């Protein structure tokens, strides 16, 4: 770029995030002579680069988050410098030069988060200073002359220092708008300077030891003051000086000792936020109801009861958030439910007995928190012709009547509730009132429309329309977005609920990540992070980030950036997409995950086709023959050499021709011609051919042969005759080779890579989740077999009658390509082998029938991933043995290696591999404290069948686990479930209307995760809760009908089993809690649609 001559015209550069440690600052910066602003944040600088001296027009310099210990250098030589931001460094007072305060234009100075112990010397000479931030240092006092000249200050931050007093000259700051003094020991500071700061808008005195005695007596002159923070102090009541602030909008008085409020609070007519949490309040005055603009009211952790809340709280028509947690509330006033804009109501940790019925009419309510109220009974939802919905009566009485229950049972279920509905009466009265107002509104609208018609008519008659009367659209409003369909990448309700959603880029497509893995990023992957939140106005807003790992490939980087923009367009958001790189994340991004971000090595494969280098095996050939030479393969070692022959060493891209001391020149020449032919035909002329003479070999030649021998001896006999070559036809066992198939054995066919490979299933119990298998089984007819035994002896070859069943088993992660291959090719060969006796049964993982499982005798093992021959297996693996209902439904499935998956009522197998040849590792059979003895014996047998003698095997009981290698192999010791009572009650129901009518059907006890249909509603009962699981493609009709069905089921179970009352829980797909997932064997991520 320097050669193009563009550098002198650049006005701003952001070099943040680069590594300039050790003096690697780009020297071309000094050519940017017109530079106005320069950002060098997070670059590892230890000192200011000397190239800054050439930037004579520089106005703004930012060097935050570095390791600077001094600012000495060329700053004083920059005459136009206006702003210096050097926060979060290691600056001390000696590192701040005095001469920079002689600059006439210096107006912004930020030295916060450093190690200053006093105010920088000569700071008072900066007469044009507007913004001064010295917070988060160790400054002990402020000199009196500091504020004599700094009278133009607008922003002053001295928080988090050791100040115990303020200079009287502070009153000279008549233009100051923001004053922040948080976390300073200002016990003896009377703050008499405050009334003179007439322009003050924000005043923060958090944790400054404020009491009634050291507050100013009056603040009437501060007419612009709108934000006051006096939290974490020792105030026993609201200071009298605050009542005179007529324009106050935000007031924070939390964490004080306030016991009562004055009736004068009605003077805060513009107050929007009031925080009185963690005080000693027992009641709120009725005058608080006059704060008509109040939006947020917080009174958590006080002593307020029902009588302490004013009955007129409903007059707060703009109230959006009300928090009164950790109080003594037994009830809440009904007027609180008249706050129609209420979105968040927090009443947890109280003594609530019930809530007003009108709580159901708060249509905008998003958060209702009533946890830890043990005696709370929610009011019934007012009945409004619900029996006529969908022409179905969902009441318990009607359901019992349809089931044929006795009239007494039906009457008892009704409970004698009164049919009167007070809420319906109120709604009718409100509609009457609104109807009168609607008539007046219609008359006004009619008059306005008549006026508009007359005006349009006059314009048409005149035919003269001035262009100035037309309002043209803005240029960005004229742009039309192309009609793109983003539903293939993002769900319909994405970003509509406050929270965080993360996608991982895999094969150019964003895949949503489970909430448990939020904040855990793979170094070779890219992610999209969406944060949905409510802004100050209560409207939904978004922040979109795309995170790039340092080892990520180009396709993932591009995919994350493109889909981040697609997500923004899909949401209709106006924010920008923010790029975050690994190791250089912004504070806003880390705050999304509560500053808990971890990096994991590895990542998914690239979406591009990868070209792998050809691997060439190293071979050694002996050249023999006179007229026509031949090559014979010999062992690759130095002892194979003979001084009478020529040898050819082929390592792929390097071919050595070794000539023995007694070898002929003709053999050497012909061997080289042969090597050149190999290079041309097989190596594409990329190999290097080297001819070596005896005793002239380089070290790398002997390294290939395993070391240089002491002497090369003659060992090839004189009467040597080469082995006669034989040609074999090599092929794998095919379906056509019926001689290999036996009726008494099981076979499996791996269709992982589409081509068919047949294996004799010696240990056929072990299957993996990625490939597909077929298992042919023949069943002989017992009657025909008996007849053959009693038949004529002359019939020496009786024809057996049998039936051949082919079970096609498909793993959860396998695609449908194997099934298609089997259907169109292999099945035809089977039908030709067993005409008229073939039955094909297709099954998927954990949905096998009992007849198939009976062949495995409870030793059915499912591994994760693909079936491969001893590849990178150094990672520990954990297997869970579980029986669902019948003993035949026993499976051993590999799960995530985490100690939180253990359970005291089950048995587990843990394999901890070693990087050793003689001992491959150790295998533990972990027997829970409450596990079944028969299952423990089965687990030991499975361990012995799965692993050979190269593994050490050990059976351990719960509580006897060794630190090495059990807890080390499983990760670490974490809390886990100690009982499995849910196994006794677990039931799964499917609610669907796919047949044209709404129906509920129960799954068998051997249900699995794949039974959760994405377009239906599933009901799961675990004995304590009834979970209503909602898929992503469920219709609203199914949701409403299923909700009614849940209520009927809970009422029925309550009357049937009074000791186990159920609670209703709503679960959306992808947000399942642990109490839900543990009911399913080997829960994992939901599988995507197979390709």
Higher pLDDT, 979 or 384: 979
Phi then psi for residue 453, to 5 deg, are -65, -40
Phi then psi for residue 25, to 5 deg, are -75, 135
Cα 593 from Cα 584, distance rounded (Å): 15
Same domain, 631 and 689: yes
Q: According to DSSP H, which parts of 812-849 are helical?
A: 817-821, 827-833
Tell me, yes or no, whether 999 lies in a domain.
yes
Cα 963 from Cα 973, distance rounded (Å): 9
Using alpha carbons, select from 1062, 1086, 1088 the residue that is nearest to residue 1075. Answer: 1062
CA angle 782, 786, 790 (to 5 degrees): 170
Kindly report the number of other CB atoms within 10 A of residue 437's CB atom. 9
Tell me, yes or no, whether 148 lies in a domain.
no
Sign of the CA dihedral running 730, 735, 738, 739: positive
pLDDT computed for residue 127 by the predictor: 87
- Which of 750-754, 866-870, 906-910: highest mean pLDDT? 906-910
Cα 377 from Cα 744, distance rounded (Å): 65
Beta pairing partners, 992: 999
Tell me, yes or no, whether 674 lies in a domain.
yes
Tell me, yes or no, whether 199 lies in a domain.
no
Dump pLDDT digits (tens) for 458-502. Answer: 776 665 544 444 556 666 666 666 667 777 788 888 888 889 999
Q: Which of 937, 962, 980 lies at the terminal end of a domain, its last residue? A: 980
Contacts 24+ apart (CB under 8 A), 149-154: 149/124, 149/125, 150/123, 150/124, 150/126, 151/175, 152/127, 152/128, 153/129, 154/130, 154/178
Q: Where residue 785 falls among pLDDT bands split at 50, 70, 90?
A: very low
Tell me, yes or no, whether 412 lies in a domain.
no
Same domain, 1006 and 986: yes
Q: Please name the residues in contact with 500: beta carbons below 8 A apart, sequence gap of 6 or more.
A: 518, 529, 530, 531, 532, 592, 593
Residue that the structure tokens 């969902």 belong to:
394
Contact 19, 44 (CB under 8 A): yes
- Which of 643-657, 727-741, 778-792: highest mean pLDDT? 643-657
pLDDT computed for residue 792 by the predictor: 40
Cα 248 from Cα 264, distance rounded (Å): 13
Tell me, yes or no, whether 42 lies in a domain.
no
Of 113-122, 352-361, 438-447, the least confident: 438-447
Same domain, 763 and 839: yes
Question: How, if at all, do strands 987-992 and 60-62 pair?
Answer: unpaired
Contact 601, 665 (CB under 8 A): no
Using alpha carbons, select from 978, 988, 1049 the residue that is nearest to residue 1022. Answer: 988
Dump pLDDT digits (tens) for 690-747. Answer: 999 988 899 999 888 888 888 888 888 887 777 777 666 554 444 434 333 444 444 4
Same domain, 961 and 894: yes
Work out the burial of residue 149: count CB atoms within 10 Å of its CB; fewer than 13 is exposed, 13-18 middle, 19 or more buried: middle
Using alpha carbons, select from 403, 386, 406 the residue that is nearest to residue 394. Answer: 386
Q: Is the pLDDT of residue 504 over 90?
A: yes
Same domain, 578 and 638: no
Q: Which residue segment(s) compose the domain that 644 sits in?
A: 619-704
Using alpha carbons, select from 501, 504, 581, 508 the residue that is nearest to residue 542. Answer: 501
Q: Is the pLDDT of residue 886 over 90?
A: no
Using alpha carbons, select from 687, 653, 656 the residue that is nearest to residue 672. Answer: 656
Q: Where residue 2 falls among pLDDT bands split at 50, 70, 90?
A: low
C-alpha distance across the termini of the chain, in Å: 47
Look up the pTM and report it: 0.42
The CA distances from residue 936 to 127, 889, 963, in Å, are: 83, 16, 22
The CA distances from residue 886 to 68, 586, 807, in Å, are: 70, 54, 21
Cα 170 from Cα 187, distance rounded (Å): 17
User: In this structure, what token pair is assigned to residue 547?
Assistant: 């995170």
Same domain, 973 and 993: no
Query: What is the DSSP annotation of 565-627?
Result: HHHHHHHT--SPEEEEETT---HHHHHHTTT--EEES--PPPSSPPPPPPP---EEEEEE-SS
Q: Is the pLDDT of residue 324 over 90?
A: yes
Query: What does the pLDDT average to over 319-326?
Result: 94
Higher pLDDT, 144 or 228: 228
Of 71-75, 258-262, 302-306, 840-844, the least confident: 71-75
Same domain, 959 and 876: yes
Q: Where residue 616 falls among pLDDT bands split at 50, 70, 90?
A: confident
pLDDT computed for residue 418 by the predictor: 47
Phi then psi for residue 52, to 5 deg, are -65, -20
Q: For a pLDDT cut of 70, what percent of the chain falls above it?
A: 84
Sign of the CA dihedral running 1042, 1045, 1051, 1053: negative
Q: Is the pLDDT of residue 415 over 60?
A: no
Using alpha carbons, select from 577, 588, 607 the residue that is nearest to residue 510. Answer: 607
Same domain, 546 and 625: no
Tell me, yes or no, whether 520 lies in a domain.
yes
Structural domains counted in the chain: 5
Q: Where residue 202 falls among pLDDT bands split at 50, 70, 90?
A: very high
pLDDT computed for residue 795 by the predictor: 40
Same domain, 846 and 808: yes
Q: For a pLDDT cut of 90, what percent of the chain falls above it?
A: 40
Tell me, yes or no, whether 185 lies in a domain.
no
Dump pLDDT digits (tens) for 283-308. Answer: 999 999 999 999 999 999 999 998 89
Cα 23 from Cα 875, distance rounded (Å): 42
Same domain, 999 and 901: no
Which CATH number belongs to the domain containing residue 1015 in this structure? 3.40.20.10
Same domain, 999 and 1056: yes
Q: For the chain, what is the mean pLDDT? A: 84
Of 3-17, 163-177, 187-201, the least confident: 3-17
Q: Is the pLDDT of residue 381 over 50?
A: yes
Same domain, 1019 and 1066: yes
Query: What does the pLDDT average to over 82-93?
Result: 93
Q: Where residue 81 falls among pLDDT bands split at 50, 70, 90?
A: very high
Dump pLDDT digits (tens) for 941-951. Answer: 999 999 888 88
């Amino acid at each position: 770029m320097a050669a193009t001559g563009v550098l002198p015209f650049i006005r701003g550069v952001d070099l943040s995030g680069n590594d300039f440690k050790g003096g690697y600052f780009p020297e071309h910066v000094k050519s940017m002579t017109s530079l106005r602003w320069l950002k060098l944040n997070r670059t590892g600088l230890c000192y200011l680069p000397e190239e800054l001296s050439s930037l004579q027009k520089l106005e703004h310099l930012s060097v935050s988050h570095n390791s600077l210990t001094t600012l000495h250098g060329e700053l004083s030589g920059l005459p136009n410098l206006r702003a210096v931001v050097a926060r979060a460094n290691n600056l001390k007072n000696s590192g701040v030069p005095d001469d920079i305060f002689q600059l006439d234009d210096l107006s912004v100075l930020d030295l916060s988060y450093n190690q200053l112990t006093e105010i920088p010397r000569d700071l008072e000479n900066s007469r044009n200073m507007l913004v001064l931030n010295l917070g988060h240092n160790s400054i002990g006092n402020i000199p009196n002359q500091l504020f004599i000249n700094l009278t133009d200050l607008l922003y002053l931050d001295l928080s988090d220092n050791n100040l115990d007093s303020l200079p009287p000259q502070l009153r000279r700051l008549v233009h100051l708008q923001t004053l922040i003094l948080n976390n300073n020991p200002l016990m003896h500071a009377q703050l008499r300077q405050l009334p003179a700061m007439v322009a003050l808008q924000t005043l923060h005195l958090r944790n400054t030891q404020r009491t009634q005695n050291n507050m100013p007596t009056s603040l009437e002159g501060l007419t612009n003051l709108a934000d006051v923070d006096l939290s974490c102090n020792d105030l026993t009541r609201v200071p009298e000086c605050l009542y005179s602030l007529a324009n106050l909008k935000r007031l924070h008085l939390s964490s004080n000792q306030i016991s009562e409020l004055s009736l004068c609070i009605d003077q805060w007519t513009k107050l929007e936020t009031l925080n009185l949490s963690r005080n000693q309040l027992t009641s709120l005055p009725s005058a608080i109801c006059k704060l008509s603009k109040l939006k947020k009211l917080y009174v958590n952790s006080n002593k307020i009861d029902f009588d302490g809340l004013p009955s007129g709280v409903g007059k707060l028509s703009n109230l959006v958030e009300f928090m009164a947690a950790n109080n003594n509330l037994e009830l809440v006033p009904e007027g609180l439910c008249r706050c129609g804009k209420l979105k968040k109501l927090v009443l947890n940790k109280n003594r609530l007995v019930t809530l007003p019925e009108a709580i159901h009419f708060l249509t905008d309510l998003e958060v209702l928190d009533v946890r830890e109220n043990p005696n709370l009974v929610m009011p019934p939802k007012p009945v409004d012709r619900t029996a006529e919905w969908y022409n179905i009566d969902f009441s318990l009485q009607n359901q019992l009547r349809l089931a044929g229950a006795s009239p007494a049972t039906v009457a008892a279920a009704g409970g004698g509730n009164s049919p009167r509905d007070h809420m319906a009466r109120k709604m009718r009265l409100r509609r009457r009132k609104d109807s009168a107002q609607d008539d007046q509104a219609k008359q006004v609208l009619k008059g306005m429309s008549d006026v508009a018609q007359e005006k349009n008519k006059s314009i048409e008659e005149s035919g003269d329309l001035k262009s100035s009367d037309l309002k043209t659209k803005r240029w960005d409003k004229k742009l039309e977005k192309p009609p793109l369909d983003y539903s293939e990448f993002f769900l319909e309700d994405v970003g509509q609920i406050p929270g965080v959603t993360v996608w991982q880029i895999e094969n150019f497509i964003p895949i949503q990540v489970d909430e448990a893995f939020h904040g855990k990023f793979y170094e070779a992957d890219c992610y999209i992070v969406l944060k949905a939140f409510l802004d100050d106005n209560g409207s939904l807003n978004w922040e979109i980030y795309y995170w790039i790992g340092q080892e990520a490939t180009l396709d993932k980087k591009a995919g994350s950036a493109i889909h981040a923009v697609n997500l923004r367009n899909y949401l209709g958001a106006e924010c920008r997409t923010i790029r975050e790189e690994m190791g250089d994340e912004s504070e806003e991004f880390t705050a999304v995950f509560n500053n808990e971000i971890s990096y994991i090595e590895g990542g998914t494969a690239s979406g591009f086709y990868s070209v792998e280098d050809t691997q060439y095996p190293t071979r050694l050939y002996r050249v023999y023959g006179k007229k026509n030479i031949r090559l014979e393969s010999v062992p690759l070692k130095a002892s194979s050499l003979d001084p009478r022959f020529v040898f050819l060493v082929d390592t792929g891209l390097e071919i050595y021709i070794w000539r023995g001391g007694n070898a002929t020149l003709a053999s050497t020449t012909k061997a080289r011609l042969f090597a050149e032919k190999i290079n041309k035909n097989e190596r594409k002329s990329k190999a290097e051919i080297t001819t070596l003479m005896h005793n002239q070999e380089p070290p790398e030649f002997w390294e290939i042969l395993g070391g240089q021998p002491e002497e090369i001896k003659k060992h090839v006999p004189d009467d040597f005759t080469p082995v006669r070559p034989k040609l074999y036809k090599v092929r794998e066992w095919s379906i056509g080779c019926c001689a290999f198939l036996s009726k008494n054995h099981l076979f499996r066919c791996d269709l992982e890579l589409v081509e068919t490979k047949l294996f004799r299933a010696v240990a056929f119990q072990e299957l993996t989740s990625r490939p597909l298998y077929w298992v042919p089984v023949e069943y002989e007819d017992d009657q025909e077999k008996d007849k053959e035994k009693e038949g004529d002896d002359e019939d020496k070859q009786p024809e057996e009658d049998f039936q051949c069943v082919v079970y096609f088993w498909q793993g959860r992660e396998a695609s449908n390509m194997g099934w298609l291959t089997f259907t169109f090719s292999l099945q035809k060969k089977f039908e030709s082998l067993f005409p008229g006796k073939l039955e094909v049964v297709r099954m998927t993982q954990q949905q096998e029938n009992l007849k198939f499982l009976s062949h495995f005798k409870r030793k059915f093992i499912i591994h994760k991933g693909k079936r491969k021959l001893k590849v990178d297996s150094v990672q520990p693996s954990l297997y869970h043995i579980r029986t669902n209902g019948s003993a035949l439904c026993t499976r051993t499935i590999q799960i995530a290696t985490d100690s939180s998956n253990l359970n005291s009522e089950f048995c587990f197998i843990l394999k901890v591999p070693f990087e050793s040849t003689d001992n491959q590792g150790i295998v533990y059979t972990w027997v829970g404290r409450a596990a079944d003895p028969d299952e423990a014996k089965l687990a030991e047998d499975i361990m012995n069948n799965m692993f050979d003698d190269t593994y050490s095997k050990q059976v351990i009981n719960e509580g006897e686990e060794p630190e090495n290698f059990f807890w080390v192999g499983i990760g670490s010791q974490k809390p886990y479930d100690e009982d499995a009572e849910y196994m006794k009650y677990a039931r799964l129901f499917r609610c669907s209307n796919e047949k044209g009518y709404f129906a509920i059907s129960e799954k068998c006890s051997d249900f699995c995760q794949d039974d959760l249909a994405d377009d239906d509603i599933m009901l799961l009962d675990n004995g304590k809760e009834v979970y209503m699981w909602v898929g992503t493609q469920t219709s609203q009709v199914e949701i409403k009908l299923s909700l009614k069905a849940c209520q009927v089921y809970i009422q029925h179970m309550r009357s049937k089993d009074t000791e186990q009352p159920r609670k209703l829980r709503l679960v959306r797909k992808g947000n399942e809690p642990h109490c839900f997932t543990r009911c399913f064997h080997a829960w994992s991520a939901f599988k995507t649609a197979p390709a």
